[in-house]
Amino acid sequence: MSGSNLGRAARFLLPVLVGLLGAGASPGNLQRQTEFGIELARKGLWQEAIFRWKRSLAINPYSAILHNNLAVAYETLGRYDEAAREYERALELGRNRYEEIRENYESFMAFYSVYRESRPEEKEQEQDG
């Protein structure tokens, strides 16, 4: 991913708010894992950031912000199908941060729809389906 896209991705990461933590979760561990993931992402260490955010999702699977952050990471790594799923999940869950997540999703989908159209295997599947 180019430097400008990397900057865009880093800007759209959303920090976890303690108020969004699930009942019984370890707030300190969740927040540490998530913030560390953001720090890693800003350094371009996206795989490690994904690992941290998945650990956080194990504690709080209903965090729209974590799903958004995963979507940004997958998008940055070119894992677009996974990014689309995570953005959609973030939108489902993201009542408190809906506008920010929606902006990320719409920006991604503008690219993703063109990307899918350009993939020969996608065109073949649509014609066969």
In the chain, domain spans: 3-128
Residue 15, pLDDT > 60, answer no
Residue 95, pLDDT > 60, answer yes
CATH architecture of 3-128: Alpha Horseshoe (1.25)
CB proximity list for 101: less than 8 A, separation 6 or greater: 14, 64, 68, 87, 90, 91, 94
CB proximity list for 95: less than 8 A, separation 6 or greater: 64
Please report how many Cα atoms fall inside a 13 Å half-sphere around the Cα of residue 58, on the Cβ side.
8
Residue 115 token pair: 């990307």
Mean model confidence pLDDT for the chain: 79
What is the average pLDDT across 61-70? Answer: 93
pLDDT at 20: 39
- What is the tens place of the pLDDT at every residue in 17-36? 333 344 345 667 888 888 99
